[in-house]
Amino acid sequence: MFKPSFANLAIIAAIAMCRCGGLVDAHAAERPNIIFLFADDLGWGDLSCYGQDRVKTPNLDRLAQQGTLFTNFYVAGSVCSPSRTGIMTGQYPARHRVFGHFAAEASNAKREMPNALDPDIMTLTDLLKDAGYRTAHFGKWHLGNVSPEEYGVGAFRTESHTNIPDRGRLDIWNPPNRPKCTADILDAALEFMDSQQATSEPFFLNAWFSDPHATLNPSLEQLERVKQFAPKGVDFYGVAQVFYACVVEMDRQIGRFLDELDARGLSENTLVIFSSDNGPEDFQIGNSAHSGVGCTGPFRGRKRSIYEGGIRTPFLLRWPGKVPPGKVNDTSIVNGIDLLPTLAAIAEADIPASLELDGENMLDVWLGKDRQRSRPLFWEWRYRVFGHPYNQPPRLAVREGDFKLLINPDQSRVELYNLRRDPGERDNIASEHREKVNQLQAMLLNWNESLPKSPVEPVAGKANWRWPQ
């Protein structure tokens, strides 16, 4: 698809909504800088502002206190590449044949996936660049083997690509460098901001972390900060100690970064977004035997699962004077696919009519309005889900309002939950609400039929145990 260049067309009505729902003088508002901090495999319950009581995350808690915390935020996929595709395109990842994570070419071919997100697709960074934003990306990429430049990213240093003079790729996976991987990503972001001080245009910056994704390797100093988790009477570190050392270090580096924004006078006109790409990893994955302790809060399921714990993640927004401080939005359902249309509204970027978005412009919600979204949300997963059978869901899911239906395409394993009353998806009420099941099932199966076909693992959608014979 050809990417045309679009002029700056103001979507004034959206950006002019104040937190009480009224209008402000849109001409008086400057377009903000936008920074998106994206953790990797951090669970909904891994921050103390979301109820974590084992360690404190004071800097992300500060971000929540200075802005708004959302309890009903979802990502579009239960693993990294689909989740990131949803954010970059505003569309469900399977529409682009991104069914799982981008891997080696043979693995991609086996799943009938491409080797990268199609660079001809209009992305969030394309739109913001065309609207006059300076765009940058530092840290994890995991959208395939194509350079970020092909997606409208102006400056970048990732694990696989760089175009910053005298700066190499970021080493965010090699175990010896893991203790400082978050610091390195945020230092690259600060260098970019300092290099842009002489320009007047706003910037959009992704800082996408590898923490707390396995393999984790915290330093002795970092381990000492959480020594309360050290096993007693033995000479090795505990799994909780390793994991929480990395979470605490990530929070500490984010605090340093926020302080640097203050020191540079950037905080007042900068929208800071924080989230995670999916739920926490499971112990059964070989490289995460020490990191499978991430917390999903009250939710069922972990990474790869389309139960709540695999797809519902933290979401914090801070934009002084625009986003209400100290607010907890427990009403509105927001998804990563909403970032493109919402940030386009903030950036006064024109979205071409040919771009069929699945996400919605949720700017009024970000600015304080409590409302439901106008369209349901859908998920699918075609492969194995590791861990306890209780966390292994059917292949398809839809959420509309308080209700969530999970089902296999052959209409087996029909599960209906009222998430307002039962956020842990423990009480299947399908037999009591046949009309609601029929309504959601029809739209979910219809959505599934619209997606590209590809191989499905035989265990997908099953929750079986090898029972003794």
For the cut 60, the answer to whether the pLDDT of residue 5 exceeds it is: no
From 359, 375, 391, the end of a domain falls on 375
For the cut 70, the answer to whether the pLDDT of residue 303 exceeds it is: yes
Model confidence at 292, in pLDDT bands (50, 70, 90)? confident
pLDDT attached to residue 97: 98
pLDDT attached to residue 27: 31
Taking only the tens place, the pLDDT of each residue in 431-465 is 999 999 999 999 999 999 999 999 999 999 999 99
Model confidence at 400, in pLDDT bands (50, 70, 90)? very high
Q: Is residue 431 part of a domain?
A: yes
Task: Determine contact, residues 157/169, Cβ cutoff 8 Å.
Answer: yes
Q: Residue 418: which residues within 8 A CB-CB, separation 6 or more?
A: 402, 403, 427, 429
For the cut 70, the answer to whether the pLDDT of residue 257 exceeds it is: yes
368 with 390, same domain?
A: no
The mean per-residue pLDDT over the stretch 70-99 comes to 98
For the cut 50, the answer to whether the pLDDT of residue 321 exceeds it is: yes
Q: Which of 391, 396, 390 is nearest to 456 (CA)?
A: 396
244 with 306, same domain?
A: yes
313 with 252, same domain?
A: yes
For the cut 60, the answer to whether the pLDDT of residue 64 exceeds it is: yes
Looking at the chain, the whole-number percentage of residues with pLDDT higher than 90 is 89
Task: Give the integer Cα–Cα distance in Å for 342 and 349.
Answer: 10
142 with 76, same domain?
A: yes
Q: Show the tokens assigned to 246.
A: 């990395």
pLDDT attached to residue 51: 97
Q: Residue 370: which residues within 8 A CB-CB, separation 6 or more?
A: 329, 331, 332
The mean per-residue pLDDT over the stretch 54-60 comes to 97
pLDDT attached to residue 20: 36
Domain that holds residue 51: 12-375
Task: Give the integer Cα–Cα distance in Å for 325 and 275.
Answer: 17
For the cut 80, the answer to whether the pLDDT of residue 8 exceeds it is: no
* Dihedral angle computed from the Cα positions of residues 72, 77, 78 and 79, in that order, rounded to the nearest 10 degrees: -130
Q: Show the tokens assigned to 419.
A: 């998430």
Taking only the tens place, the pLDDT of each residue in 342-374 is 999 999 999 999 999 999 999 999 999 999 999
For the cut 70, the answer to whether the pLDDT of residue 339 exceeds it is: yes
pLDDT attached to residue 198: 80
Q: Which of 46, 135, 127, 140 is nearest to 101 (CA)?
A: 140
Rounded to 5°, the CA angle 173-178-179 comes to 170
For the cut 70, the answer to whether the pLDDT of residue 322 exceeds it is: yes
Q: What is the CATH number of the domain that holds 107?
A: 3.40.720.10
From 311, 345, 375, the end of a domain falls on 375
Longest dimension (CA), the chain: 73
pLDDT attached to residue 452: 98
288 with 434, same domain?
A: no
For the cut 60, the answer to whether the pLDDT of residue 19 exceeds it is: no
343 with 405, same domain?
A: no
Beta strands 334-335 and 327-329 are unpaired
Beta strands 270-276 and 315-318 are antiparallel
300 with 403, same domain?
A: no
Of 221-225, 381-385, 465-469, which range is least confident?
A: 465-469
The mean per-residue pLDDT over the stretch 380-388 comes to 96
53 with 106, same domain?
A: yes
296 with 400, same domain?
A: no
133 with 97, same domain?
A: yes
What DSSP state is assigned to residue 81? H
Q: Is residue 6 part of a domain?
A: no
230 with 303, same domain?
A: yes
Count of structural domains within the chain: 2
Question: What is the secondary structure of 377-436 as a DSSP string?
Answer: EEEE--S---S-GGG---SEEEEETTEEEEE-TTS-S-EEEETTT-TT-----GGG-HHH
For the cut 90, the answer to whether the pLDDT of residue 291 exceeds it is: no
121 with 155, same domain?
A: yes
For the cut 70, the answer to whether the pLDDT of residue 15 exceeds it is: no
- Identity of the residue numbered 114: P
Mean pLDDT computed over every residue of the chain: 93
Q: Is residue 16 part of a domain?
A: yes
From 375, 408, 431, the end of a domain falls on 375
Q: Which of 93, 92, 87, 89 is nearest to 111 (CA)?
A: 93
Taking only the tens place, the pLDDT of each residue in 39-49 is 999 999 999 99
For the cut 70, the answer to whether the pLDDT of residue 337 exceeds it is: yes
Q: What is the CATH number of the domain that holds 409?
A: 3.30.1120.10
Q: Is residue 5 part of a domain?
A: no
